[in-house]
Amino acid sequence: MSPNEDPVIALCWVIFFVVWIVSAFFTKPTAERAGMWTGWGFWVTVAVFMFARRSAQPFSPGIVLWHVTPTLRIVADAITGAGVFVAVWARAVLGRNWSANVVFKQQHELIERGPYRFVRHPIYTGVILMVLGTAITVGRIVGVIVVGVSIIGLSVKAHREERLLTKHLPEAYRRYRARVRAAIIPFVI
């Protein structure tokens, strides 16, 4: 089964992209941009993977790692649903400070409430959960690869964001990092 054959997962991704596109119009002006990371290439890759049919996916005729059972589909739906919930909640709490790029906004504020009390980059946590849930419904090696690439790519982006926040909010961000140890996945990353 591909993600577009699972209505729950498809709905989660539609919600995610609609929230991201609409809310992108309501952000603060950028004060400093850290390099050329645009972020859009990552999201386009994720979108293609999420909605591509098996026949169009790389490796699709190849390695099947598992077959999706009704129980596994429920688990995948729950993981993806939890991911969209966390990502949208974090995006709402972050508010006008958000950007797809690694930037520091004018009048930037350090957000420490909501999901930011538990993890420093909860949007990335949510996205990884969504990719994982979707990959479970694919059941092929391409899903595992996309999960791995997502974790690596978002970890690199998180590191770049943390350098920028440390530069502009040195004491506040140091205290926040000491209090909230998990960057993306509690007890792992």
Segment 17-50, tens digit of pLDDT = 999 899 888 888 778 777 655 555 555 565 565 5
Domain assignment of residue 187, yes or no: no
**Which tens digit of pLDDT belongs to each residue from 69-79?**
999 999 999 99
How many domains does one find in the chain?
1
Domain assignment of residue 54, yes or no: yes
Two tokens, residue 47: 């979108």
3-state secondary structure (DSSP) of residue 140? strand
Residue span of the structural domain in which 170 resides: 3-179
Two tokens, residue 35: 């390099």
Residues contacting 31, CB < 8 A, separation 6+: 103, 104, 105, 106, 108
Domain assignment of residue 184, yes or no: no
CA atoms within 13 A on the CB side of 169: 18
Q: DSSP for 96-124?
A: GG--SSSEEETT-----SGGGGT-S-HHH
Is 47 within 8 Å of 90 (Cβ atoms)? Answer: no
When pLDDT is averaged across residues 142-148 and rounded to a whole number, the result is 87
Which CATH number does the domain housing residue 160 bear?
1.20.120.1630
CA distance 20 to 23: 5
Is 46 within 8 Å of 150 (Cβ atoms)? Answer: yes
Domain assignment of residue 23, yes or no: yes
Domain assignment of residue 189, yes or no: no
Domain assignment of residue 185, yes or no: no
Label residue 162 by pLDDT band (50, 70, 90): very high
Q: DSSP for 22-78?
A: HHGGG-PPEEEE-TT--SHHHHHHHHHHHH--GGGSTTTTS-B--PPPHHHHHHHHH
| φ, ψ (nearest 5 deg) of residue 110 | -80, 120
Domain assignment of residue 188, yes or no: no
pTM of the model: 0.83
Most confident of 37-41, 118-122, 152-156: 118-122
Pick 188 or 10 by higher pLDDT. 10
